[in-house]
Amino acid sequence: MSSSPYHPHTVAPRVTRISHVVENLPPSGIRAFFDLVMSMDDVISLGVGEPDFVTPWRIREASIFAIEKGYTSYTSNRGMPELLREISSWLARSYDLHYNPSQHIIITVGVSEALDLAMRAIINPGDEVIVPEPAYVSYAPTVALAGGIPVSLPTWHVPGFKITPDALDQRISSRTRAVVINYPANPTGTSYSRAELEALAAVIRKHDLLLLSDEVYDQLSYDAPHIPIATLPGMYDRTLYFNGFSKAYAMTGYRLGFACGPEPIISAMIKIHQYTMLCAPIISQMAAIEALRNATPDVREMVAEYNRRRRFIVHALNLAGLPCHLPEGAFYAFPSIAPTGMDGVTFATRLLQEERVAVVPGTAFGPGGSSFIRIAYAASFDNLREAARRITRFVARHAPHAVSPSTALAS
């Protein structure tokens, strides 16, 4: 019944129909900024967390062929056996990492769904999950939505934004159930050497925890080969390994990922998946088979291109007076903007308004990120060069003392 001034509700209206958990989720740090960017023209965006390359043609062609041949049905809950086998053999030949396709792997709608399933499969109300910060925006909310408590592990002041064994150890309590790690990382590009992973693994083993390792940027490693932490001694049985097709194969819109790990946990995840998602789209699964079989040369070419852009933009940012570590992987640079005296939101907003370059404020990746911005260099080299020119001009205008002397000489 509609309400009117003459017929007021006799029952007090609910304050909200939204659950407490969802009501208390912090809003996305990107949303407001996104709206501002959308309202402007001719913006060079370095704010995009996905490849600028279109999916390699051989993969797109395989999807078209799949549709033509009538592959439009459900698949088994776990995923197509053929793709499960391809994933298993790809992990074996890339990393000497061995998972049985019919026991240890589940194919999901992106790594996002896999993470959500994992949280729901392992968390009891009140369990704590340690999430590094800065981190990709989804980890803490998926913990909270599963009834757990995300415990932040800040790495803002550690060189390279790395998790250190001591810092990790200190965040662990009797309620800690699991630890999330992501490398190469969004938003910092940080990765870990074998020795660094060994040290973290020792802490995980000591406290008998589960490790959720998001390695979706693994193939975008530039300086050293990627090492899955599940391959370290004593880690195979306590690691959930996540990977997907979005980044390396430029397949974000296909929404396809997978998780590998101990059989009981994967089975529990399949239980949730079968009731909530049923299966990942068959067309995407058919495309992924082609990706794993034949797209390695395409990946190699994209990675070589990202690497040139990485070196270029990090060099340019440091020259501009924004200190930036050389990220080992992914396609992000994460410079400090402290020398300008601005916070990240102010910097990003003014850079957008004055120079029409979009970057993401560091606070989108954790409340401690106010003196950082994320720059995604998944953009054409021409755009990157022009953006670097504009950022240099912007910093010089607002913080002339910050600019490196060699830039001042050159200009």
Partner 1 sequence: MDELLQILSRDARIPIPDLAAMTGRSEDDVRAAIAEYERRGTILRYRAVLNPEHIDAANGKVRAWIEVNVTPQRGLGFDAIAERIYRFPEVKSCYLLSGGYDLLLMVECDSLHQVGAFVAEKLATQENVTRTATHFLLKIYKQDDDIFHGGDSSERLPVSP
Question: 112 vs 219, which CB is nearer to partner 1?
Answer: 112
Question: 300 vs 397, which CB is nearer to partner 1?
Answer: 300
CB of 222 to partner 1, least distance (A): 10
Q: How far is residue 353's CA from residue 155's CA, in Å, rounded to a whole number?
A: 30
Residue 322 and residue 337 in contact, taking contact as beta carbons nearer than 8 Å: yes
Token pair of 134 as six digits: 């800065």
Q: Which of 65, 89, 112, 123 is nearest to 283 (CA)?
A: 65
Residue 161 and residue 134 in contact, taking contact as beta carbons nearer than 8 Å: yes
Question: 360 vs 399, which CB is nearer to partner 1?
Answer: 360
Question: 224 vs 304, which CB is nearer to partner 1?
Answer: 304
CB of 254 to partner 1, least distance (A): 13
CB of 49 to partner 1, least distance (A): 5
CB of 322 to partner 1, least distance (A): 15
Q: How far is residue 396's CA from residue 271's CA, in Å, rounded to a whole number?
A: 56
CB of 275 to partner 1, least distance (A): 27
Please list the residues that pair with 107 across neighbouring strands.
Answer: 258
Q: How far is residue 259's CA from residue 103's CA, in Å, rounded to a whole number?
A: 11
Question: 146 vs 360, which CB is nearer to partner 1?
Answer: 360
Question: 30 vs 97, which CB is nearer to partner 1?
Answer: 30
DSSP conformational letter for 277: T
CB of 377 to partner 1, least distance (A): 11
Per CB under 8 A, residues contacting partner 1 are 28, 30, 33-34, 37-38, 43, 45, 47-50, 52, 54, 136-138, 186, 304, 308-309, 311-312, 315-316, 358, 360, 364, 381, 385, 410
User: Measuring CA to CA, how many Å separate 195 from each of 156, 166, 198, 301?
Assistant: 21, 15, 5, 29
Q: How far is residue 267's CA from residue 78's CA, in Å, rounded to a whole number?
A: 9
Question: 271 vs 385, which CB is nearer to partner 1?
Answer: 385
CB of 191 to partner 1, least distance (A): 17
In this structure, what is the dihedral angle of CA atoms 377, 380, 386, 389, given to the nearest 10 degrees? 30
Angle at 182 between CA 180 and CA 184, to 5 degrees: 165
Q: How far is residue 404's CA from residue 247's CA, in Å, rounded to a whole number?
A: 34
Question: 167 vs 326, which CB is nearer to partner 1?
Answer: 326
Q: How far is residue 106's CA from residue 207's CA, in Å, rounded to a whole number?
A: 27
Please list the residues that pair with 150 across neighbouring strands.
Answer: 129
CB of 382 to partner 1, least distance (A): 9
